[in-house]
A and B are shown apart, each in its own frame.
Chain A
Amino acid sequence: MQVFASYLHLLAVAVYLGGSIAMEFVLGPAQKFIPPAQAQVVGQKSADRFLVLVWTALALFPISGMLLFFAIGAQHTSDFFGHSYGQTLFTMMMLWVVLVVNGTLITFVFRPKLAEKAGAGTTGAAMSDRMKQKELAATWISRITRADLAIALVVVLLGASLSYGNGLL
């Protein structure tokens, strides 16, 4: 049970952390080498697929984490959240909430703005305004993605401290 849970947990972290690194530092920069219209198609299709992986990983974190938690019997410790182990685990949960909020912002706020298409009767001013909004949305997606990467690295650090110690906090 513990091995299965830790395998799922490892897979979820790998998909989130490694996937974000590959999207940010392998696929992203490569898009500069093709025409902008094609780059937009590639960006949209790859982000659509990657977001499915991201949400699967975000759902797997608490499920595999709970399985792991009960498999190692951590819940029997008295005053759980009063100790360093519990506090570290609590911090990891809070960081997961931040990742979920950021994922929600990207999926439901910024990406729909990027995908919006101009109607036939759109004026030049409206078009320019829309372009500015799209640029702003792209900037925010990039900022949030980098922040998520940093958070994921902190979560790995905290997780490692739980595996072979009592946590960092």
Chain B
Amino acid sequence: MKLAGLVLLSAGWCSYLGGVLVMELVWRPVQAHIPPSQTGALCATMGRRYRWMALAALGVTAIGQLIAFGPPGFALAAGWGVLVALIVSMGLFVHPQSHARWAASAAPAQQARARQRRLGAIKVMGALLRIEVAVALLLAASLAPQLAHSPHL
């Protein structure tokens, strides 16, 4: 049973962390090579998929932790809480705003305001993603000793 928990914990956490790193180290630099309209289309689809993948991976990690080691300590639980809060806030609030469209018939002032909101959301999204990477890397450091236990030797 403990082995099952460990596998879930390792696989879930690695899936999550790898996804975050790909978003930051692969996807972000690639955006510079494609037109903004295509970036928008890709971001909209990828954001939806990534959100569910990340939440599922964190859920699997939490289940694995509970099975293998029982309830996590305060630091680990707080770290997970921060990550879930970041993903939910990006998914529910910032990401939809960064793809908001405005009616062509809207007044120029309204269009300008909507454009400003959109640009602001894109900036916030970038900042939140960076915070997510930092928290995930810190959390990995606290998980690593657990995963390299080897008490039998």
Contact = CB atoms under 8 A, between A and B. Distances in A.
A41 B22 CA distance: 17
A26 B46 contact: yes
Contacts of A166: 152
Interface core residue of A16, A20, A27 (most chain B CB under 10 Å): A27
Contacts, number: 167
Determine the main DSSP class of A at the interface with B. Answer: helix
What's the interface size class on A, roughly?
35 or more
B150 A156 contact: no
Interface string B25-61: 1110110011100100110111001100100010000
Contacts of A15: 17-18, 21
Contacts of A42: 30, 33-34, 38, 42
26 contacts: A2-B145, A6-B147, A6-B148, A9-B148, A10-B140, A14-B15, A14-B16, A16-B18, A17-B18, A18-B15, A19-B22, A22-B53, A25-B49, A26-B50, A27-B26, A34-B42, A49-B30, A53-B25, A156-B11, A156-B14, A159-B10, A160-B9, A163-B147, A164-B2, A164-B149, A164-B150
Interface of A: 2-3, 5-7, 9-11, 13-23, 25-27, 29-31, 33-35, 38, 41-42, 45-46, 49-50, 53, 68, 72-74, 77, 85, 153, 156-157, 159-166
